[in-house]
Amino acid sequence: MEGGHEEEGSACGAEAADQFDRLPDAVLLDVFNRIGDVKALGRCALVSRRFHALVPLVDSVFVRVDCVIPDDLPPHAGSPQQQEAPAAAAAVPPARGRGSLAHIARFLLGVIARPIQALGQILSPVAATVSRRSAPQPASPPAPAADVSHHSPSEVLRSFKELRRLHIELPTGELGIDDGVLLKWKADFGSTLGSCVILGASSVSSKPPSPPNPPETDAADNSAASPESTREPEESGSLPESLYTNGWLKLRVVWTISSLIAASARHYLLQPIISDHATLESLNLTDSDGQGVLTMDKRQLQELRVRPVSPSGSSHRTLMPALRMRLYYAPHVELPGGTLLKGATLVAIRPSEDASREGGGAGAAGSAGTCWISNAFEEPYRTAAKALLKTREYCLEMNSF
Amino acid sequence: MAAEKGEKGAAAKEVAGERMVTLESSDGEEFHMSEAAAQLSTLLRHVIEGGGIDNGIPLPKVAARTLEKVIMYCEKHAKAAAKSDSDPSAAAGSSSDNTAAASEDLEKWDRKLVNGLSQDALFDLIVAADYLVIDGLLDATCRKVADMMKGKTPDEIRKIFNILNDFTKEEEEEMRREYAWAFDD
């Protein structure tokens, strides 16, 4: 080493050595595996030949979709500015500034918007009041199937041949919900739906609860965690008459169907990624709003490779099998931290075939099968789910769609 | 007072009721560390179980100032593990808050340790953690380097770590196309 002061890793001439020379490839790969963000990894790949050779070997990647370009606006060549397009079915408020994965978002959002549109047409009277976004829109021309200037998720992930864990985050949830309404879903899929848990509330407030109001729509339940409180006498498992007549049930059906459609649309568009990456062991597709979480574990990914997905008609989403749903309701649920949920509803959904195979049915709350429900969400919603699970269970069946 | 433990060899001596291990750095300095802490290194664990060495365990790949940090890390984590093991409320499973807070504190401590290092010292520590097979330390140090790379252009990364750009112009252009999605901003 020539004389002179010791520099701390700054480029000062021939004596400064590449810090990574001392690290074996396996350790450098360990570093890359902790970068996560796919864009940062892409940039690393251009640093040197060694980096370029190793980056594609990472086993875990996080793709953050930066922003959304509404479906019927032309892509801007220069700097894409976000615009509100209230008439566009795919319009979502710009969540972030412009970013390079706008194209991916457009690809993803384009296919999700149309099913939501269809949903609006099926349930229009209710949809119009529940959500701006799911209201029926004038038919917009279908999005171009492939546009050269876009980068599809498959393209971005193409060079990562050893991928084992993949996490994609959309900028926002697909479901437009009014302020103050809570709607969260968590679903897992193999070739088709494995299970889905939905948590909704017609209003969320952070005030401490005043003395409980007289029950609005449901005489069955006056407080969240007291399963013993008086209930309307009724057939076991079926909903009280009152709930059918004042939109209570319609609202929850819309929540349920919207969530399932969003989940199945996400699942459907993951197929090319899954078939391109045979080494995948875990896949998560979330959104930064925390609205929906789709997961697939190793076994489920394998199942999908062996048994391809059935699309639902001509919409770009996976077919839902016949479903058995367990619904739990409480007019008030207080979360740790003081937030109050009104009209809180928990819906636990599984394919009817699975549910009957395991002997689950009304009153099966004590069986091995409620962990997946109570653990679906993180706190503080986990507490809500657990509280709701203690209330009366209503069973519903839904046909395949 | 040092008591000989026959099975473990003289390298494991007892000091104040705790079994100690003697380590020798590449520059000849002697260090002591508790056996509990040494267990965090898979390599040391095997050496100790294999019967140890009379005059301490030589570590020709680890310099004194690095070994010092390694021992600091291992002692801290061994103590934390012992504490949570013996904590009655943790055993009862009721205070997951305590364990969560404790592990958060430990993470903070780890971050503080790696943040306080010069780049040379950081890489020295990575090499040591890799050699000694200390998973947690390797994780913390690699995470730090990964953080240093995030949000930077390739050129910036090269400058920070003194990496030579060994692509030809043509290669670089082709790669820019291959990874175009990482650059449109």
Contact A31/B at CB under 8 A: yes
Out of A16, A43, A45, name the one closest to residue B162 (CB): A16
Average pLDDT, rounded, for chain B: 85
Residue A93 has pLDDT above 80, yes or no: no
The complex's ipTM?
Answer: 0.85
Interface of A with B in 109-128 (CB under 8 A): none
Q: Do B181 and A48 touch (CB under 8 A)?
A: no
- Chain B residues whose C-beta is within 8 A of a chain A C-beta are 118-120, 123, 126-127, 130, 138-139, 142-143, 145-146, 149-154, 157-167, 172, 175-176, 178-185
In a mutational test of the B interface, the residue from A12, A23, A27 whose CB has the highest number of chain B CBs within 10 Å is: A27
Q: Which of A60-64, A234-238, A273-277, B77-81 has the lowest mean pLDDT?
A: A234-238
Contact A207/B at CB under 8 A: no
Q: Do B164 and A48 touch (CB under 8 A)?
A: yes
Q: Do A35 and B149 touch (CB under 8 A)?
A: yes
Element (H, E) at A248: helix A248-269
Reference A323, options A184, A187, A125; nearest CA is A187
What are B79-89's pLDDT values in tens digits? 998 887 776 65
Name the residue with higher pLDDT: B50 or A32.
Answer: A32
Name the residue with higher pLDDT: A131 or B159.
Answer: B159
Please give the distance of CA B123 from its chain centroid, rounded to a whole number: 11
Confidence of residue A370 (pLDDT cuts 50, 70, 90): confident
Angle at the Cα of B70 from the Cα atoms of B69 and B74, rounded to 5 degrees: 115
Tell me if B123 sits within 8 A of A19, measured CB to CB.
yes
Question: Measured between alpha carbons, how far is A31 from A55 in angstroms, rounded to an integer?
Answer: 10
Widest pairwise Cα distance in chain B = 69
Question: Measured between alpha carbons, how far is A222 from A268 in angstroms, rounded to an integer?
Answer: 41
- In angstroms, what separates the C-alpha of B172 from chain A's closest C-alpha? 7
Whole-number pLDDT of residue A38: 93
Average pLDDT, rounded, for chain A: 72
Tell me if A310 sits within 8 A of A319, measured CB to CB.
yes
In a mutational test of the B interface, the residue from A18, A20, A21, A31 whose CB has the highest number of chain B CBs within 10 Å is: A31
Out of A16, A23, A52, name the one closest to residue B175 (CB): A52
Supply the DSSP string of A108-172, one letter for each residue: HHHHHHHHHHHHHHHTHHHHHHH-STTS--PPPPPPPS--TT---HHHHHTT-TT--EEEEEESS
- A315 Cβ neighbours under 8 A, 6+ residues apart: A114, A115, A118, A265
Element (H, E) at B139: helix B135-149
- Which chain B residue lies closest to A35 (C-alpha atoms)? B146
- B128 Cβ neighbours under 8 A, 6+ residues apart: B61, B62, B66, B67, B70, B137
Residue A101 has pLDDT above 60, yes or no: no
Whole-number pLDDT of residue B15: 60
Contact A37/B at CB under 8 A: yes
Residue A204 has pLDDT above 70, yes or no: yes
Residue A35 has pLDDT above 60, yes or no: yes
Residue A379 has pLDDT above 80, yes or no: yes
For B179: left if phi > 0, alpha if psi spans -120 to 50, otherwise beta; the answer is alpha
Confidence of residue A94 (pLDDT cuts 50, 70, 90): very low
Residue A97 has pLDDT above 70, yes or no: no
Confidence of residue A324 (pLDDT cuts 50, 70, 90): very high
Whole-number pLDDT of residue B99: 79
Whole-number pLDDT of residue A103: 39
- Which chain A residue lies closest to B175 (C-alpha atoms)? A46
- In angstroms, what separates the C-alpha of B142 from chain A's closest C-alpha? 5
Span B111-121, average pLDDT: 94
Whole-number pLDDT of residue A381: 92
Tell me if A318 sits within 8 A of A388, measured CB to CB.
no
For A171: left if phi > 0, alpha if psi spans -120 to 50, otherwise beta; the answer is alpha
User: What is this structure's pTM?
Assistant: 0.73
Q: Do B164 and A101 touch (CB under 8 A)?
A: no
What are A139-190's pLDDT values in tens digits? 444 333 332 235 777 788 989 999 999 999 988 888 888 888 999 999 999 9
In a mutational test of the A interface, the residue from B149, B158, B165 whose CB has the highest number of chain A CBs within 10 Å is: B149
